[in-house]
Amino acid sequence: MKENDKLPFEKLAQKCGILSPEHPKEVIESIVSLCSEYPNEDLILIYNYFFEVSDSYEVLMFLLNKIDKFRSKTSIPVLIDSLLMKNKMAQKITDVDNLTRIRINITKVLANTKDSQCVYPLLYCLNSKDENYKIKLSCAEALGKIGDKYAVLPLMNIVEDEEEHSVYVKESAVCALGMIGDSKAVDSLVSILESKKGLLDKFTFLKERALEALNKLNFKGERVFNAVVKSLRDESPQIRINAIEVLMNSEDKRAVSLIEEMLNDPNRDVVQNAVIALYNIKGDEYLDSLINTPETPSRAREEAINLKQDLMENEDEDE
């Protein structure tokens, strides 16, 4: 390793049995014993080297856990080469499922570094037509956690790509856009809510994720507002619930009357969330009015009473 040529990497690898791991547990125990011999700045370099040369699934997964705890930039090139399989990872780990698990865990470790140099390789895997969809999912999630806005446009392309047939990959891209929080993504998210046929209409949870992402963005404009209002009429109760939450946080003057209409919803969970949203917007007095007004739908009044009791119990506990 270039970082510290004085460390006896090859001898340590032989000592720990890295190159012939017939008994992974013993190898892992040998690696653990190094903690008492070397300082942390040397240990991470040793772990990086071991990760490069090991061909044991168990040992590699153990090393990933150790590398993740350090979150050192020195590990990033090693992890990227393994993710892209530039270091013959596929030849070392021949079991496809184990190889996939290792690469998924690599994306998680890269995400925890929060380093922008991880964005390009993660995007490369995400955009590869031949890549395993589970790897794509984990890459999208990692991009969201890193939060680099360079990833926004590529993620938007995934959402809008008609040739991307995996709705799960699209869902992960939508979640990542919400995590990054860039307003440029609004149009792509709205297009999901406006869709009337095909995959986007069939898999309702994609619309749920789009609403969750919009809720994290400071969106403006009639097109967005109308798409959210349309979602209040969706056949999926969860989509209606998510739309209520978006309206609650929108600060739009029309939100209250629209949410009030949901007090008549046939689904109890939707009514409950409508009551909570109205309380969050209007406060205690409005909650009392829901309880005491004869015109309040019976289910909505019941939910308002339950909420009132919960609030009072919480106050008693605080005292």
- Residue 316 reports pLDDT greater than 70: no
Please give the average per-residue pLDDT across 2-20, as a whole number. 81
Which of left, alpha, beta for 200 (phi over 0: left; psi -120 to 50: alpha)? alpha
Distance CA 245, CA 248 (A): 5
For helices 268-282 and 284-292, the axis angle rounded to 10 degrees is 130
Q: Residues near 139 by Cβ (< 8 Å), separated by ≥ 6?
A: 107, 122, 123, 125, 126
What percent of the chain has a predicted confidence (pLDDT) above 90?
75
Residue 166: per-residue pLDDT: 79
pLDDT tens digits, 224-270: 999 999 999 999 999 999 999 999 999 899 999 999 999 999 999 99
pLDDT tens digits, 151-192: 999 999 988 887 777 788 888 999 999 999 888 999 989 988
Confidence class of residue 1 from pLDDT cuts 50, 70 and 90? very low
Mean pLDDT of the chain: 91
Distance CA 122, CA 168 (A): 17
Task: Residue 221: name the closest of 189, 180, 177 by CA.
Answer: 189
Confidence class of residue 197 from pLDDT cuts 50, 70 and 90? low
Residue 90: per-residue pLDDT: 87
Residue 2: per-residue pLDDT: 43
- Residue 29 reports pLDDT greater than 90: yes
pLDDT tens digits, 102-124: 999 999 999 999 999 999 999 99
- Residue 219 reports pLDDT greater than 80: no
Is residue 175 within 8 Å of residue 209, measured between CB atoms?
A: yes
Domain 116-219, CATH: 1.25.10.10
- Residue 199 reports pLDDT greater than 90: no
- Which residue type sits at 10? E
Q: 232-319, what's its fold? A: Leucine-rich Repeat Variant (1.25.10)
pLDDT tens digits, 61-81: 999 999 999 999 999 999 999
Residue 216: per-residue pLDDT: 87
Residue 201: per-residue pLDDT: 53
- Which residue type sits at 223? R
* 172 vs 218, residue with greater confidence: 172
